[in-house]
Amino acid sequence: MSAPLRVESATDAAGGEGAAMMRLIEELYPICRSITGDGLRRSLGIVARDLPLALREVPSGTQAFDWTIPPEWNARGAFIATLDGRRLVDFADSNLHLVQYSLPMDRIVARDELLAHLHTIPEHPAWIPYRTSYYKEDWGFCVSERQARTLTDAAYRVVIDTTLAPGHLTYGELEIKGASEDEMLFSCHSCHPSLANDNLSGIAVAAMLARRLMSAPRRLTYRFLFIPGTIGSLAWLAANEARVPRVKHGLVLSCVGDPAGFTYKQSRRGTAEIDRIVAHVLRHGGTAHRVLPFIPYGYDERQYCSPGFDMPVGCFMRSPNGGYPEYHSSADDLSLVRRECLEESLENLWQIIGAVEGNETYKNLSPKGEPQLGKRGLYRPMGGQQAQDFDQMSLLWVLNLADGDHSLLDMAERAGLPFATMRAAADALAAAGLIAAGPVESRKG
Amino acid sequence: MSAPLRVESATDAAGGEGAAMMRLIEELYPICRSITGDGLRRSLGIVARDLPLALREVPSGTQAFDWTIPPEWNARGAFIATLDGRRLVDFADSNLHLVQYSLPMDRIVARDELLAHLHTIPEHPAWIPYRTSYYKEDWGFCVSERQARTLTDAAYRVVIDTTLAPGHLTYGELEIKGASEDEMLFSCHSCHPSLANDNLSGIAVAAMLARRLMSAPRRLTYRFLFIPGTIGSLAWLAANEARVPRVKHGLVLSCVGDPAGFTYKQSRRGTAEIDRIVAHVLRHGGTAHRVLPFIPYGYDERQYCSPGFDMPVGCFMRSPNGGYPEYHSSADDLSLVRRECLEESLENLWQIIGAVEGNETYKNLSPKGEPQLGKRGLYRPMGGQQAQDFDQMSLLWVLNLADGDHSLLDMAERAGLPFATMRAAADALAAAGLIAAGPVESRKG
Amino acid sequence: MSAPLRVESATDAAGGEGAAMMRLIEELYPICRSITGDGLRRSLGIVARDLPLALREVPSGTQAFDWTIPPEWNARGAFIATLDGRRLVDFADSNLHLVQYSLPMDRIVARDELLAHLHTIPEHPAWIPYRTSYYKEDWGFCVSERQARTLTDAAYRVVIDTTLAPGHLTYGELEIKGASEDEMLFSCHSCHPSLANDNLSGIAVAAMLARRLMSAPRRLTYRFLFIPGTIGSLAWLAANEARVPRVKHGLVLSCVGDPAGFTYKQSRRGTAEIDRIVAHVLRHGGTAHRVLPFIPYGYDERQYCSPGFDMPVGCFMRSPNGGYPEYHSSADDLSLVRRECLEESLENLWQIIGAVEGNETYKNLSPKGEPQLGKRGLYRPMGGQQAQDFDQMSLLWVLNLADGDHSLLDMAERAGLPFATMRAAADALAAAGLIAAGPVESRKG
């Protein structure tokens, strides 16, 4: 998969991929998404404008392992007003104001009762928190600490214009078929309302990766899931159990637009090929990064890595969940996401895909002693000079480790060289007839 | 084995377990113990007042592998006196004065000969060393360097009133039967004369552990050995070879009363379950500690870990043998042993026993995706908040790793949480029907 | 192989082994060696004066795997002269001046053409580089940067009096038979012209090792190869494929005369017995050293460790190839090599051979509990003293690990004691009938 074509379409004509990703985020930002409902449905429809995304609708009440698809929730409006009708807190100003899945109501509420249903972030008095109550019937408002302090009246009128009724859970699925039935999965939660980095950034980068892949030669089949968190991945898993063993690599994408370094959270296995590939690409990528072991908290990797599936799925982030002050608040807004950070995330993921595609195993066809590279134009002619040419070293490494037991990633790790360099060396040696790719079945991982 | 009953008896009515351990040490301290003899026999009798300890008598001349039970040695008195009858060094003042197993004698000895049989600690001129000559017929006195310097006469009368004759080696054995025939062994050398930390502290803590276990629910069978060093463990092993495979865990207890941090010396295997459990408990225990690899020098773990047995037996100490200045000298007296240190040793050992008892393997009964904890009252109801509740994490870890391959210790180590926390989480999940304990046979270790 | 006889012969009568090695280097230094030719042949003849070295002649055109033995090259002289006949650069002054395998010529060359065939080391303006063009027909001169700057005439006469014609490649081979057909291989490249450390030092140390081995009791068969780099090892491998599996350990020797600390480059396997032995000996040897992982660049270990052979052959050096400023230049002269450094290299290699010879596996014949060392005169008689005697510890370690699974090297590594100490302890215990050496077949490595 060397040098795939870059997509040129109407969407990114103005400013390229980075600008296209930013525009998508800006368009999606104002919409009130949840784990069900029209906001989610409309958002996926926008993503589907540029991609052949299939929108799946799962009826409320459908069983997904230990869970049940909840009723569909839709919010038309909500406010807290003084008894003389002045609106102090209004869903129309920010969809974060309403605790998701709040039940409908319209009544006068005493101050104490109201305060018991108010959520603030005292340490950031200007920010509105993000809260949900999907699986417990409740209501509530999220306001800034400053707003909360002004609520000194004895009672307020509270209006919540929502519906909670049988309907559907919606998710988007895109399959990009490759030569093999083996799959790589990209999954991003798409259920958050006006939060930019978490996770409109993941949606935008995933959509752009999919566009690149559609026009690139590819060995694997790629699957993209745009799903509500937890219940969405459970719904997909429940409907696709037979497909799980085909998924050889996977990444959950989240929070990939902020300027922090990269955070890779390993799969539960910890030594899956994807774990090694991501660590390798980040190590040679030049951006600050860290690799964290799996923990059973976070995003949908929790479901993919549950013991009944134990899929090779890690989580690729910049700032991790809970790891930046603006997390789950109104401060996770458009100003937090930068075009160049989205682009850098995209490029690293593209390198990762390149390694997933190209991680072959080779046999040296001239394994006794070194083959004479000079007569094949692969060696510097003048002996006696000191080695300073990494291309030379990459040729020697590939020849030395092409014993059918080492994947190209194994070689790159042992050589301390970037995968792409080893890939180029292997291509040159294969072209010279000195090595041959082994059968895919014998690959490690 | 959660929250076993604490023992309430006459012995510890006044001041609890710590005070009871101190009183036992104080009572045993003046007695002249050796690897055989009435002092050892009497000491074990005192321990047996509060425990159903069986006193075993092994006749002199009995073979124990490469060794032979030596003659029984008893000392009634010994002194060095001036020729005009002034006693300068007297066994009645300190039983350390006499080299153990000194042959009887009563004669005038020239100064040079006497000096050749005197032992001192020049760097601690006020301390009397502790020396033995069990297996080589000899005699000698241990004196302070200061005393030695006063012995300037040309000759002295030396009287050693001992007997060395066929008799018995005595040791104490206590079996506390549990549900399983699998055993945990506690072994402490009981042959030292007036040395408090080494090893009256081990005797006292072992006796108190035994009392706790007798009134606690228990899965394993527990065996306590109060034995003379080396020859005692060899004698027990020779008489109990068939029992050795039943011992799944073991600890030699020594020097557990001084204020130093803990020292755990691993079994020869180094990765036995007991090695991992002790390291885990100490790591989460809050007291300074270190874990040392096995070496073939030390206490009776040398015998248990000889290559013909290779038992999973480590050595639990505070200061290690040879690792404190007072070691093997009169300065290892009652002032070195502290009640709170004995108590802390006891508590850590109790945690260790708790982990040995409770190190189950589990199967998640809802392994595909996470089960919905909320509907079982095991989850915080409000989504969107950051995780800060370790109990929540321990539930998620147990669910994620309950695949039949991970013991609860494996889970605790991977989660970085205390075993007791994981134990509580597993109990809650088992009560909710979400996990089931695996068969004992499938446990790791 | 304890305390083998030291060789006493005419050669080293004056000054011992170190002086003899220095004299050999000094004698070989002026000769113009290459990968073929009379200089190489004469040099091997000098080495063969003191050793029963077989000189092998491989005809030009012989195939060695992917390579062909090149024509034989001989140089009688070469110079660059002004058009009026003043010789500015002359092979007679330094054989490094002529690029090896330069084709014969005698013509007037324009300055630009000459400069294109000149090699210098700009950062060391007084040094002449060393360059070769074995496998590409070419010509060239190596000069100091200072000399190069004086070549300002428009044209020069260039004379190269060489022959390049069918002939032979010569190498030296010495087999020193031992009790076993298992072999240890020492290989040193012998093709460099006037470079002292690289690799006359290796030749001299190898020759002295061979002399020691010839008069020492030995278990293994030892093979010494004095070969031209790359093509020489390929020629030997091609002619001796059946022998390769017998080589259980091997070292390439190079650059062992300079005052740097030791550098050991591991075999491709990385965990071969020789890798562990060299690291162990160097760790206990007191000289600064480092152990580097295998890379497929360097000396003939590249061929021995090609994937078709993967022999347990590392590379033993002081300064590594490319790792000192004088490398491959006229500054790698006699002043760089020191007698005491040669001697120290020799001694460490001798320790390595000692460990290779003596790395037995043992069974404790009294494995249940410790045997009673005292009754065999192997224990200090007085109990109670602190352990401070490493000989005592080495006895206990050998007994504890003599289970048939641990080699003496395993024991030494676990004990943290020098191999020679463990060797002495094992000898004492075997003499006392307490352990027995296991069959050679069961040895690890």
Q: Which residue has the tokens 């690291």?
A: C279
Candidates C134, C241, C327; nearest CB to A383? C134
Inter-residue contact C208 to C346 (CB < 8 Å) = yes
On average, the pLDDT of chain A sits at 93
Q: Phi and psi for C39 in degrees, rounded to 5?
A: -65, -45
**CA–CA gap between residue C316 and residue C252 (Å, rounded):** 6
Å between A318 CA and nearest CA of chain B: 18
Beta-carbon contacts of residue B236 (< 8 Å; ≥ 6 apart): B171, B173, B225, B227
Distance of CA C239 to the CA centre of its chain: 21
Greater confidence, A385 or A221? A221
Q: What is the pLDDT of residues B28-50, one digit of tens each?
A: 999 999 999 999 999 999 999 99
**With bands split at pLDDT 50, 70 and 90, how would you rate the model's confidence at A223?**
very high
- In chain A, residues with a C-beta closer than 8 Å to the C-beta of C328 are 384-386
Check CB contact of C267 with chain A, cutoff 8 Å: no
Distance of CA A49 to the CA centre of its chain: 20
Q: Using CB atoms, which chains have 3+ pairs under 8 A with A?
A: B, C
- In chain B, residues with a C-beta closer than 8 Å to the C-beta of C375 are 135
Give, rounded to a whole angstrom, the gap between the first and last alpha carbons of chain C. 19
B173: region left, alpha or beta (phi > 0 left; psi from -120 to 50 alpha): beta
Cβ pair C307:A374 closer than 8 A: no
Q: Select from B370, B395, B396, B410 the residue whose CB has the most chain A CBs within 10 Å, as the one to mutate to test that interface.
A: B370
Specify the amino acid at residue A253.
L
Å between A323 CA and nearest CA of chain B: 10
Q: Which of A365, A264, A249 is nearest to A323 (CA)?
A: A264
Give, rounded to a whole angstrom, the gap between the first and last alpha carbons of chain B. 19
Mean local confidence (pLDDT), B272-282? 98
Å between C66 CA and nearest CA of chain A: 5
Inter-residue contact A286 to A301 (CB < 8 Å) = no
Q: Which residue has the tokens 């557990």?
A: B256
Inter-residue contact A263 to A318 (CB < 8 Å) = yes
Reply yes or no on whether the pLDDT at B273 is more than 90: yes
**With bands split at pLDDT 50, 70 and 90, how would you rate the model's confidence at B443?**
very low
Q: What is the pLDDT of residues A310-329, one digit of tens each?
A: 999 999 999 999 999 999 99
Reply yes or no on whether the pLDDT at B387 is more than 60: no
Reply yes or no on whether the pLDDT at B9 is more than 60: no
Q: What is the pLDDT of residues B243-266, one digit of tens each?
A: 999 999 999 999 999 999 999 999
Mean local confidence (pLDDT), A73-82? 98
The DSSP-derived string for A19-86 is: HHHHHHHHHHTTS---SSSHHHHHHHHHHTTSS-PEEEEEETT-EETTEEPPPEEEEEEEEEE-TTS-
**With bands split at pLDDT 50, 70 and 90, how would you rate the model's confidence at C380?**
low
Return the half-sphere exposure (C-beta side, CA atoms, 13 A cut-off) of residue C395: 21
* pLDDT confidence of residue B160: 98
Chain C residue at shortest CA distance from A389 = C297
Q: CA distances (Å), B347 to each of A307, A388, B342, B354, in order?
A: 35, 61, 9, 10
Mean local confidence (pLDDT), B133-155? 96
* pLDDT confidence of residue C377: 83
Candidates A64, A297, A308; nearest CB to B367? A308
Reply yes or no on whether the pLDDT at C389 is more than 90: no
Specify the amino acid at residue B86.
R
Inter-residue contact B323 to B264 (CB < 8 Å) = no
Order of strands across the sheet that contains B105-110? B87-90, B72-81, B155-165, B105-110
Check CB contact of C405 with chain B, cutoff 8 Å: no
Q: If residue A251 lies in a helix (H) or strand (E), which one and from where to where?
A: strand A247-253
Q: What is the pLDDT of residues C190-232, one digit of tens each?
A: 999 999 999 999 999 999 999 999 999 999 999 999 999 999 9
Reply yes or no on whether the pLDDT at A276 is more than 50: yes
**What percent of chain B is modeled with pLDDT above 70?**
93
Q: What is the pLDDT of residues C59-89, one digit of tens each?
A: 999 999 999 999 999 999 999 999 999 999 9
**With bands split at pLDDT 50, 70 and 90, how would you rate the model's confidence at B383?**
low
User: Against a cut of 0.90, is the pTM above it?
Assistant: yes
Query: Strand pairing of C155-165 and C72-81?
Result: antiparallel
Chain A residue at shortest CA distance from B398 = A296
Q: Phi and psi for A270 in degrees, rounded to 5?
A: 80, -25
**CA–CA gap between residue B237 and residue B56 (Å, rounded):** 13
Q: Which of C2, C25, C29, C18 is nearest to C345 (CA)?
A: C18
**With bands split at pLDDT 50, 70 and 90, how would you rate the model's confidence at B379?**
confident
Query: Strand pairing of B313-317 and B247-253?
Result: parallel
Structural tokens at position B231:
């020859």
Query: Strand pairing of A289-292 and A313-317?
Result: unpaired
Q: Which residue has the tokens 């039970």?
A: B69
Å between B393 CA and nearest CA of chain A: 7
Range B430-433, long-range pairs (CB < 8 A, 24+ positions): B430/B362, B432/B376, B432/B378, B433/B365
Q: Select from A363, A365, A368 the residue whose CB has the most chain C CBs within 10 Å, as the one to mutate to test that interface.
A: A368
Candidates B100, B130, B306; nearest CB to C367? B306
Query: Strand pairing of A72-81 and C118-119?
Result: unpaired
* pLDDT confidence of residue A31: 98
Q: What is the pLDDT of residues A361-416, one digit of tens each?
A: 999 999 999 999 988 988 764 555 544 344 789 999 999 999 999 999 999 999 99
Inter-residue contact C213 to C221 (CB < 8 Å) = no
Query: Strand pairing of A403-407 and C403-407?
Result: unpaired
Inter-residue contact C269 to C324 (CB < 8 Å) = no
* pLDDT confidence of residue A144: 98
Q: Which of residues 361-390 of A touch C (CB under 8 A)?
A: 364, 366-372, 374-375, 381-387
Question: What is chain B's length?
Answer: 445
**CA–CA gap between residue B276 and residue B312 (Å, rounded):** 11
**With bands split at pLDDT 50, 70 and 90, how would you rate the model's confidence at B374?**
confident
Inter-residue contact A100 to A40 (CB < 8 Å) = no
Alpha helices in B298-367 (DSSP H): 301-304, 339-358
Burial class, A62, CB count within 10 angstroms (exposed 0-12 / middle 13-18 / buried 19+): middle
**Does residue A339 sit in helix, strand or coil?**
helix
**CA–CA gap between residue B107 and residue B114 (Å, rounded):** 11
Mean local confidence (pLDDT), A280-295? 97
Angle at A341 between CA A335 and CA A346, to 5 degrees: 135
Å between A7 CA and nearest CA of chain B: 36
**CA–CA gap between residue C29 and residue C330 (Å, rounded):** 11
**CA–CA gap between residue B257 and residue B266 (Å, rounded):** 20
- In chain A, residues with a C-beta closer than 8 Å to the C-beta of C198 are none
Q: CA distances (Å), C128 to each of B119, C33, C99, in order?
A: 72, 17, 11
Q: Phi and psi for A420 in degrees, rounded to 5?
A: -60, -35
Reply yes or no on whether the pLDDT at A3 is more than 50: no
Locate the DSSP E strands across A132-196: 141-142, 155-165, 168-176, 183-189
Query: Strand pairing of C168-176 and C221-227?
Result: antiparallel
Q: Which of A387, A384, A366 is nearest to A375 (CA)?
A: A366
* pLDDT confidence of residue C271: 97
Reply yes or no on whether the pLDDT at B440 is more than 90: no
Reply yes or no on whether the pLDDT at A301 is more than 90: yes
Q: Which of A177, A180, A219, A204 is nearest to A4 (CA)?
A: A219
* pLDDT confidence of residue C442: 42
Q: Give C397's DSSP letter.
A: H
Q: Which of C422, C286, C295, C305 is nearest to C359 (CA)?
A: C422
Cβ pair B369:A309 closer than 8 A: yes
Specify the amino acid at residue B301.
E
Q: Which of A74, A79, A75 is nearest to A158 (CA)?
A: A79
Reply yes or no on whether the pLDDT at C3 is more than 60: no
Q: Select from B386, B400, B410 the residue whose CB has the most chain A CBs within 10 Å, as the one to mutate to test that interface.
A: B400
Inter-residue contact B313 to B274 (CB < 8 Å) = yes
**With bands split at pLDDT 50, 70 and 90, how would you rate the model's confidence at B388?**
very low
Q: Phi and psi for C277 in degrees, rounded to 5?
A: -65, -45
